[in-house]
Amino acid sequence: MSTTESLDVREAVRSICAEAKSAGRALATATRATKDAALEAMADALVAHAERITEANAKDLDRGRENGMSSGLLDRLALDPARIAAIADALRELAALPDPVGEVVRGSTLPNGLRLRQVRVPMGVVGMIYEARPNVTVDAAGLALKSGNAVVLRGGSAAASANEVIVEILGQALETVGLPAEAVRSVDAYGREGAVELMRARGLVDVLVPRGGAGLIQTVVKEASVPVIETGVGNVHIYVDAGADIDQAIPIILNSKTQRVGVCNAAESLLVHRDAAAELLPRLYAELHAKDVTVHGDAASAELASGSPVAFAPATDDDWATEYLSSDLAVRVVGSLDEAIDHIGRYSSGHTEVILTRDTVSAHRFTTEIDAAALIVNASSRFTDGGQFGLGAEIGISTQKLHARGPMGLGELTTTTWIVEGQGQIRE
């Protein structure tokens, strides 16, 4: 790209961000009734234009197949009327949630009579950079709107056709209730250079949230001058403790691994205590074979695969560190809870970790000694999700420790301001 073209992209992206900033000021003062009406209008518009969205999405899917996109990523990318209806329902669920703007976090009256309140207020403009997930376009727009923010999106080339249509539909819906269409904007038309300029739009964009693979996230974290909330990949572990309920464990593992393989809360590694392995693994292998899952296992798990039709490959160190996003599962037999905790501490991405156990001491140790955004006892990893947590939707799952951690909903898209009311007090 020539210097002139780069300057043109920079000017265009900054113009989009400036328009979003102006729209954000309008949203910051919008009433809950207006914002909820906008969410309902956006939901209705998505359903009404489902055919147009799926036609655009079909172009994205065709390009993905031509470019050799994996089945897991194609699943993430795909939209159909049922998925569009579910996305619209998530907007309606957001409308039913309390408005976080104006919530008093804490307050007090000082001895000198000053009245203090710490109140939630919008961030202003939220930037999103993400890959192959057109549903994120809607989730981000809905969450930003409800929390009083404008949003500027970079959804990537893989979903470009569907995202273009969705952003247009959402903008038109906003205008029907008197809100500016510029509250939901995209820089997709400016490609990678546009994404770089979005990362550099400090002063126009208040916070940037990357959502995608490790490469994308680290690029944004390292290159952005806009403040970043870091989301993380999901190298999710399930540990089956000695004496675990095997009948309960098998469906939990299958749900965690196979319900949707291309999502960040899908299980990627299974650790099994040696006292549970002989009962669990042969039964589990039969179920994994039926689901076309390939096992990447250590020597002990390989012995228990003897005679099983499950696809099996010897595990390497890379397998323990891999977020497959596919029908693959790393399996290791461990000798103790300590060994499982050490393994997870070495390879965890800090997203979600699961223990299946009947022992309350093991559960307590797991949930206090493991460092992750979500720790689950005796349930599927697939529950680490904003919608499942009652947040309405999520803009991402933060694996950092500042400001927000875990699924980020409405509250995480606000900051606070201190309101101080006095009657002429001066500081001594």
Same-domain pairing of 221 and 250? no
Alpha helices in 200-245 (DSSP H): 214-223
Which of the four pLDDT bands, split at 50, 70 and 90, describes residue 70?
A: confident
Q: Reduced to 3 states, what is the DSSP secondary structure of residue 379?
A: coil
Q: Which of 20-24, 331-335, 391-395 comes out lowest in average pLDDT?
A: 391-395
Same-domain pairing of 218 and 283? no
The greatest distance separating any two alpha carbons of the chain, rounded to the nearest whole angstrom, comes to 84
Whether 17 maps to a domain, the answer reads yes
- Cα-based distances in Å from 329 to 49, 295, 321, 392: 38, 5, 11, 30
Whether 208 maps to a domain, the answer reads yes
Whether 392 maps to a domain, the answer reads no
Sequence-ordered list of residues with C-beta below 8 angstroms from that of 363, at least 6 positions apart, any chain: 355, 357, 377, 378
* pLDDT attached to residue 401: 82
* pLDDT attached to residue 71: 83
* pLDDT attached to residue 4: 58
Contact 164, 188 (CB under 8 A): yes
List strands edge to edge, sheet with 125-130: 184-186, 150-154, 125-130, 207-211
Whether 210 maps to a domain, the answer reads yes
Residue the block writes with tokens 């409800």:
146
Sequence-ordered list of residues with C-beta below 8 angstroms from that of 158, at least 6 positions apart, any chain: 60, 63, 64, 69, 73, 77, 131, 132
Q: Which of the 8 DSSP states describes residue 263?
A: S
Whether 157 maps to a domain, the answer reads yes
pLDDT at 131 over 90: no
* pLDDT attached to residue 408: 87
Please work out, in degrees rounded to the nearest 5, the angle formed at the alpha carbon of residue 411 by the alpha carbons of 410 and 415.
120
Q: Whole-angstrom Cα distance, residue 181 to residue 171?
A: 4
Q: Which of the 8 DSSP states describes residue 413?
A: G
Whether 169 maps to a domain, the answer reads yes
Q: Whole-angstrom Cα distance, residue 228 to residue 230?
A: 6
pLDDT at 233 over 90: no
Same-domain pairing of 261 and 315? yes
* pLDDT attached to residue 257: 98
pLDDT at 140 over 90: yes
* Cα of 88 vs its chain's centroid, Å: 17
Q: Reduced to 3 states, what is the DSSP secondary structure of residue 134?
A: helix
- Cα-based distances in Å from 190 to 7, 167, 207, 261: 12, 15, 20, 31
The number of domains in the chain is 2
Same-domain pairing of 15 and 80? yes
* pLDDT attached to residue 396: 84
Which of the four pLDDT bands, split at 50, 70 and 90, describes residue 54?
A: very high
Q: Whole-angstrom Cα distance, residue 115 to residue 101?
A: 20
Q: Whole-angstrom Cα distance, residue 60 to residue 137?
A: 15
Same-domain pairing of 138 and 257? no
Report which of residues 123 and 70 the model is more confident about. Answer: 123
Q: Whole-angstrom Cα distance, residue 271 to residue 229?
A: 30
Whether 401 maps to a domain, the answer reads no
Which tokens is 340 given?
């499982």
Q: What is the dihedral of CA 239, 240, 242, 244, to 10 degrees?
A: 140
Check which CATH number belongs to the domain holding 224 and give it: 3.40.605.10
Q: Whole-angstrom Cα distance, residue 107 to residue 89?
A: 36
- The whole-number average pLDDT for the span 38-57 is 98
> What percent of the chain has a predicted confidence (pLDDT) above 70?
98
Q: Whole-angstrom Cα distance, residue 163 to residue 161?
A: 6
Mean pLDDT of the chain: 94
Check which CATH number belongs to the domain holding 251 and give it: 3.40.309.10
Same-domain pairing of 223 and 262? no
Report which of residues 164 and 392 the model is more confident about. Answer: 164
> What percent of the chain has a predicted confidence (pLDDT) above 90?
84
Digit-coded pLDDT (tens) for 318-348 = 999 999 999 999 999 999 999 999 999 999 9
β-sheet bridge partners, residue 152: 127, 185
Digit-coded pLDDT (tens) for 302-317 = 999 988 999 999 999 9
pLDDT at 2 over 60: no
Q: Whole-angstrom Cα distance, residue 322 to residue 235?
A: 6
Same-domain pairing of 264 and 342? yes
Model pTM? 0.83
Same-domain pairing of 153 and 260? no
Same-domain pairing of 129 and 260? no
Q: Whole-angstrom Cα distance, residue 255 to residue 358?
A: 20
Closest CA to 278 of 252, 259, 251, 305: 305
Domain span holding position 54:
3-229+408-421
* pLDDT attached to residue 5: 62
pLDDT at 20 over 60: yes
Closest CA to 132 of 63, 234, 48, 46: 63
* pLDDT attached to residue 1: 55
Same-domain pairing of 162 and 216? yes
- The whole-number average pLDDT for the span 140-161 is 95
* pLDDT attached to residue 196: 95
In this structure, the number of other CB atoms found within 10 A of the CB of residue 81 comes to 12
Same-domain pairing of 212 and 256? no
* pLDDT attached to residue 3: 59
Which of the four pLDDT bands, split at 50, 70 and 90, describes residue 72?
A: confident
Which of the four pLDDT bands, split at 50, 70 and 90, describes residue 133?
A: confident
Same-domain pairing of 314 and 222? no
Q: Whole-angstrom Cα distance, residue 334 to residue 349?
A: 20
Digit-coded pLDDT (tens) for 369-380 = 999 999 999 999
Digit-coded pLDDT (tens) for 73-113 = 898 899 999 999 999 999 999 999 999 999 999 999 999 99
What stretch of H or E contains 15? helix 3-28
* Cα of 279 vs its chain's centroid, Å: 35
Contact 111, 121 (CB under 8 A): no
Whether 224 maps to a domain, the answer reads yes
- The whole-number average pLDDT for the span 274-278 is 97
Residue 177 C-beta-side C-alpha neighbours within 13 Å: 23
pLDDT at 199 over 70: yes
Q: Whole-angstrom Cα distance, residue 249 to residue 185?
A: 44
One-letter amino acid identity for 267? A
Which of the four pLDDT bands, split at 50, 70 and 90, describes residue 13?
A: very high
